[in-house]
A and B are shown apart, each in its own frame.
Chain A
Amino acid sequence: MADFDPLNNRIKESFSRMTAAADPGRVTAAVREKIGSEKERNTGDRMRRPKKLTVLLAAVLAVILLTTAAAAAVMAVQARMRVEAKPPEPVDFREGTEEVMVSYDVKMEEHTGSLILSDEVMAAFEALNPRGEDSTMTSQMIEEGSVILFDSWQDAADWLDCGLLVNPELEALPNKNFALHGEYFFDETNNNRHVSVIGAHSYPGSKEKIHVDAFIPLSEEAWEIYNGGTGVVLHNNPDPGEAETVSDTLFTSLGDEATLGFTPGDSGVWSIMAHFTHEGIIYRVSVWTNDREGGEAVVRRVVENMR
């Protein structure tokens, strides 16, 4: 069939070169040979060791039964687990050190990340190279095809089909470097396994970039890391007292309560981050800016219009 799409023609030419050296004839010969020897071996085994096979099958069956019982017990315990809303924790200053811990009070009823994504979506993410702690920058990951690019938050929400909240205002924002994408993260050392959708937007009336991240935890450890309970660590903070400003009066349009944290950095720059959860997904809306009030207004506006 003639193909008039120039991109398709280039794809065909490249694949043709890529696959030319593989020889199906060698595959056929090897398959025939291996099947032949396997048939011979099976016949021999059946004649020689019927008792051994029975014993082996019994042992395998016993292992399967034990494993199933253990797994059922674990699942029963997990099913009863519910993470209670934590009372606000006091800010923990460590005198004599250069670290400041900012505690957030984030409410999350249960960790359901692995349940809310369909097998299809999970398979698509798992087919990517997982991003680990030592991974490269996002821009490089995009180049490497290690992420799933989305046209818009609505596009991401439709594809994930897991109740992802979106802010309609974000969709129309011009941004040259707009790179909304989904990625799969797996840090084996800490068993931190999650899927995240990450976007950066320029916001009208602000010079700053707004970062909106949605984390879907796939392990208890990922939930622990991203539920906000451990806070932020700052080094060489000139005025740690400022870090304790945490608001609890911010709500999404669906009534999810968000915490708003202000963390001072170097040269008068603030990190302003709102953090909330909705149906098993953890959201972070953040901005780095010198304009604390303006930044707060932008973060509030984004959060309050999430729906």
Chain B
Amino acid sequence: MEDGFDFEAYLEAGVGKLTGYCAAVVGSADAEDAAQEAYLRLWRNLGRLPNEAAANSFLYKTAYRICVDLLRARKRFREPERPPAQNDALSDGMTAALLKLSPADRAVVYCRVVEEEDYGAIAARFGKNEAWARKRFSLARKKLRLTLEKEDKHNGGF
């Protein structure tokens, strides 16, 4: 890692963002564990990361994998799906639609809409190129629209 990199300051500055990201992917119940584990793995690997940009990319890729592992473990042990927030959140059609997205799609939508990241930055978090991020975002929005339209029809809306 380049000289002057201060892990403590880096942690302070980014922990809110990463915890939110993990909560979007895996739900708030497991988000803190996922974010914590990602930071620990980053700390253990600082020696082989050349700069802060590489650390960022490592941190988010690792966090995403941890979240996906947690989701898989939940499924494997048939643990009932935990709603990411309060119980009443599920009554919101958009929240239900977001939960139906794949973890990758949900993460991309969160980065783009909530964090307002550009496609290049989102792609870097996944180790992909910009076209991949554009495509994923576009497909995810399409899926959200379809799910919401279906929900509206089902409820007799519009």
Known interface pairs A13-B94, A15-B114, A34-B36; A127-B132 also in contact (CB < 8 Å) = no
| Contact across chains for A120 and B129 when beta carbons are under 8 A apart | yes
How far is it, in angstroms, between the C-alpha of A7 and the C-alpha of B32 when the chains are bound? Answer: 28
A306 is an interface residue with CB less than 8 A from chain B: no
How far is it, in angstroms, between the C-alpha of A12 and the C-alpha of B32 when the chains are bound? Answer: 20
Provide the residues of chain A in CB contact with B15, threshold 8 Å: 24, 27-28, 31
A26 is an interface residue with CB less than 8 A from chain B: yes
B31 is an interface residue with CB less than 8 A from chain A: yes
How far is it, in angstroms, between the C-alpha of A7 and the C-alpha of B18 when the chains are bound? Answer: 23
Known interface pairs A11-B114, A124-B104; A23-B19 also in contact (CB < 8 Å) = yes
B interface majority secondary structure: helix
- Per the CB 8 Å criterion, the residue count for chain B at the interface is 57
Contact with A along B80-112 (1 / 0, CB 8 A): 000011100100101100101111110001100
Provide the residues of chain A in CB contact with B144, threshold 8 Å: 7, 11
| Contact across chains for A22 and B32 when beta carbons are under 8 A apart | yes
A18 is an interface residue with CB less than 8 A from chain B: yes
Closest chain B residue to A33, Cβ basis:
B36
Provide the residues of chain A in CB contact with B126, threshold 8 Å: 123
Known interface pairs A15-B98, A123-B128; A148-B139 also in contact (CB < 8 Å) = yes
Inter-chain contact total with CB atoms closer than 8 Å = 136
Contact with B along A132-145 (1 / 0, CB 8 A): 00000000001111
B68 is an interface residue with CB less than 8 A from chain A: yes
| Contact across chains for A18 and B105 when beta carbons are under 8 A apart | no
A interface majority secondary structure: helix
| Contact across chains for B150 and A11 when beta carbons are under 8 A apart | no
How far is it, in angstroms, between the C-alpha of A7 and the C-alpha of B132 when the chains are bound? Answer: 21
Contact with B along A102-139 (1 / 0, CB 8 A): 00000000000000000010011001110000000000
Closest chain B residue to A146, Cβ basis:
B102
How far is it, in angstroms, between the C-alpha of A20 and the C-alpha of B147 when the chains are bound? Answer: 24
Interface residues of A (CB under 8 A from B): 1, 3, 7-8, 10-24, 26-28, 30-32, 34-35, 38, 120, 123-124, 127-129, 142-146, 148-149, 159
Query: What 10 A-B pairs come out closest when comparing CB atoms?
Result: A19-B23, A127-B104, A21-B28, A18-B84, A22-B31, A22-B23, A22-B28, A24-B16, A14-B94, A14-B95
Interface residues of B (CB under 8 A from A): 11-12, 15-16, 18-20, 22-24, 27-29, 31-32, 35-36, 39-40, 43-44, 68, 75, 84-86, 89, 92, 94-95, 98, 100-105, 109-110, 113-114, 116, 126, 128-129, 132, 135-136, 139, 141-147, 150
